[in-house]
Structure 1
Amino acid sequence: MAPFGIRVAFAVYEGVWASTLYPAADVLQSVNLRQLTGTFSWNIVTPTEQSVVSYSGQRMTGDATMMDSGRYDWVVLPHFWGDFDRALEVHPQVAHWLQRQYQSGALIASVNSGAFWAAQAGLLQGRRATAYWRHIPALKQQFPNVEWLEQQGLVEDAGLYTSNGQNAGMDLAMHLVERVCGAEMASDLARDITFDSRRDYDLTLFNMAGFRHHRDDNIHHVQNWLDKHFAETVSFRALADNAGMSKSTFLRRFERATGEKPTRYLQRLRVEAAKHRLINSDDNIKAISINVGYRDFSYFSKIFKVITNLSPKRFRERYRPR
């Protein structure tokens, strides 16, 4: 096989739900066929050379093992069924392998209970994450140093992605495709593959995940505040004071961490919120403008077009599910 650009590892362990693994692989293959080039390659990676038994009873053999020295760009942790303490006994290799992959620069993405493995590896300590609501109590008890967001379908924090179910897992795959191939490719795939593309959770914060691939915790805290208050009047001097910095230091550190000036970041956050509402609601566009923090509709339209290359009206016409 010819060399590929992005190497993806699908971790497979006892009780894995194949339905949270193969759809993502199909998405990556769809990209390869549309691009007419090897954008992605992927391996099924098992803890050892022994095969594992999936939730549905299939015996699954890996292309590689966690004992190998291979490095991946993305690691996907599918949902599994069973007691996690028992899973740890059976697969003691997983946590160390995840630590090694993350330290080497891999993005770690979990579907539902796959978050147990990321938390066990210590990767989520002091960070935000999500999982299916039934698992949240156990996760809170076992990993109290993680901020578990029960109502959020998708969460990203410092290159660690978590999702709360199969639909969210598909959105996760689409988001990762968008990072590499752009919004148009991801949108085209979504229309062809995920016909029920309206979600009852908001993808705004998840779509801003690319600006969180840094390790500056003070700036993460500022971003957390903006996630909740972006529609309000924002004082960057007050944010700097709360972060214990001068305004000039804050502006410099924010841009160094995120790659964007705070004002531009706030604009992007508001536009992402508007995009979600344009696709998933019937709200009037002027009302959407006000709800995301813009009283001046013409200014909102100008900023929206600068960031998306489309007017709000054209964006809704193009991307709203038909």
Structure 2
Amino acid sequence: MSQPPVQVAMYADADCWLGSIHLIRELLAVAGTLQRGPALFDVTVVGPTSAPVASFTGTQLTPDVGVEAAPPAQVIFLPAFYFPDRGRRAVGAALAAWLRQAYADGAIIVAITSSVRLLAETGLLDGREAACNPADWLTLRNHYPAIHCLPDAPLAIDGRVVTAASINPAIDACAYLVAHFYGDKAARKLARFANSTQQPSYGQFALASAAWRQHPDDRIRQAQAYIERQFMQPLTVPDVARRASMSERNFNRRFAAAVGMPPARYIMRCRIEHAKQLLSQQRVPVLTVALQCGFNDENAFRRAFRQLCGVTPGAYRGGGT
């Protein structure tokens, strides 16, 4: 018996990018079409009221319902907005209450580009990592110091809060939702369909690593984020321990307790996850993949890949050894 569709609420308000709303709705619809079954997601557009709202270009959209009458949602999307100034953006009491209550009830909140500034006003990003558009970084840093902003990260998944710095990573946020509710196979289908086949999409690694970051140790999550940004460079456990301002012994102990594996293995897993993306999407020599993933030589890469994946890189790609 198939499960009922996931209930998604898409917030629309003045200065939103209507294109991002339409893109997300269609991506979620495509995810169901690719499975050749019933719709996977049921999307409701929610506005401040049920009255039409105008995008920043003046194009109007009529919400299905106002925020105070919004039905329960398992996922809430705050789509892209256009905020050219660097001031704080006022958030109405009804919107803030709706978002906080939905999160308390277990919903996943997804904010895209400048809507991260709206979510910041609710306090739901305090103490969390958030990807942000470079144009919004100064605003977030100056007005919301409790947020760990990642201006160089296209996508951040911190518990049930997902932030995307631009439109492309929003595609990966949709793939993350498909994986969360319907499994990795369905998510890979959507990612292959929606992203370029020439190179891994920006957020696919964040998608793959999200399951390893579902723990409450904030400093270790920051260390994980640092590893995920730097694993393609020469990187050692002492390097990361110094970055985290811990002794190597304490860092190893605390990391393993939070993540379930020692940091050296986490670095290796990050490199191998990236290698799997490259092998799936590029017809390049194995040595090139090894070097792009932070390995110094091909043999070390082959040994690590086989240890973690059970097959050789060539067999994983479908090309023999």
TM (normalized to structure 1)? Answer: 0.78
Percent of aligned pairs with the same residue?
24
Please, which moves more after superposition, 159-168 or 267-276? 267-276
Length, aligned pairs only: 309
Aligned to 2:314: 313
Aligned to 1:30: 30
Pairing of 1:287-298 with structure 2 (within 5 A):
287-289=288-290, 292=293, 296-298=300-302
Give the distance between the partners of 1:54 and 1:247, measured in 2 at CA. Answer: 49
Aligned AA for 1:120? E
Give the distance between the partners of 2:158 and 2:272, measured in 1 at CA. Answer: 20
Residue 45 of structure 1 contacts residue 66 of structure 1 at CA under 8 Å; is this kept in 2? yes
Note closer, same or farther for the CA distance 1:265–1:315 as it changes in structure 2 (3 Å cut). Answer: same
Give the distance between the partners of 1:223 and 1:211, measured in 2 at CA. Answer: 9
Please, which moves more after superposition, 56-65 or 21-30? 56-65
Aligned AA for 2:30? S
Note closer, same or farther for the CA distance 1:58–1:241 as it changes in structure 2 (3 Å cut). Answer: closer
Aligned AA for 2:21? L
Aligned AA for 2:34? R
Give the distance between the partners of 1:211 and 1:38, measured in 2 at CA. Answer: 29
Note closer, same or farther for the CA distance 1:8–1:300 as it changes in structure 2 (3 Å cut). Answer: same
Pairing of 1:169-188 with structure 2 (within 5 A):
169-188=170-189
Aligned to 2:259: 254
Give the distance between the partners of 2:194 and 2:256, measured in 1 at CA. Answer: 41
SS at match of 1:289: helix
Residue 158 of structure 1 contacts residue 215 of structure 1 at CA under 8 Å; is this kept in 2? no
Note closer, same or farther for the CA distance 1:197–1:94 as it changes in structure 2 (3 Å cut). Answer: farther
Give the C-alpha shift of residue 188 in structure 1. Answer: 3.0
Residue 47 of structure 1 contacts residue 65 of structure 1 at CA under 8 Å; is this kept in 2? yes
Give the C-alpha shift of residue 10 in structure 1. Answer: 0.7
Aligned to 1:8: 8
Give the distance between the partners of 2:15 and 2:188, measured in 1 at CA. Answer: 32
1:100 aligns with 2:101: yes
Give the distance between the partners of 2:129 and 2:254, measured in 1 at CA. Answer: 25
Aligned to 2:90: 88
Give the C-alpha shift of residue 275 in structure 1. Answer: 3.1
Pairing of 1:1-322 with structure 2 (within 5 A):
4-35=4-35, 36-68=37-69, 70-82=71-83, 88=90, 91-195=92-196, 198=199, 201=202, 203-228=204-229, 230=231, 232-234=235-237, 242=247, 251-255=256-260, 265-278=266-279, 284-289=285-290, 292=293, 296-303=300-307, 305-306=309-310, 311-313=312-314
Give the C-alpha shift of residue 156 in structure 1. Answer: 1.7
Aligned AA for 2:256? L
Give the C-alpha shift of residue 76 in structure 1. Answer: 0.8
Give the distance between the partners of 1:22 and 1:311, measured in 2 at CA. Answer: 41
Aligned AA for 1:63? D
Give the distance between the partners of 1:253 and 1:213, measured in 2 at CA. Answer: 9
Give the C-alpha shift of residue 42 in structure 1. Answer: 1.5
Give the C-alpha shift of residue 283 in structure 1. Answer: 5.8
Aligned AA for 1:88? A
Give the distance between the partners of 2:181 and 2:316, measured in 1 at CA. Answer: 21
TM (normalized to structure 2)? Answer: 0.79
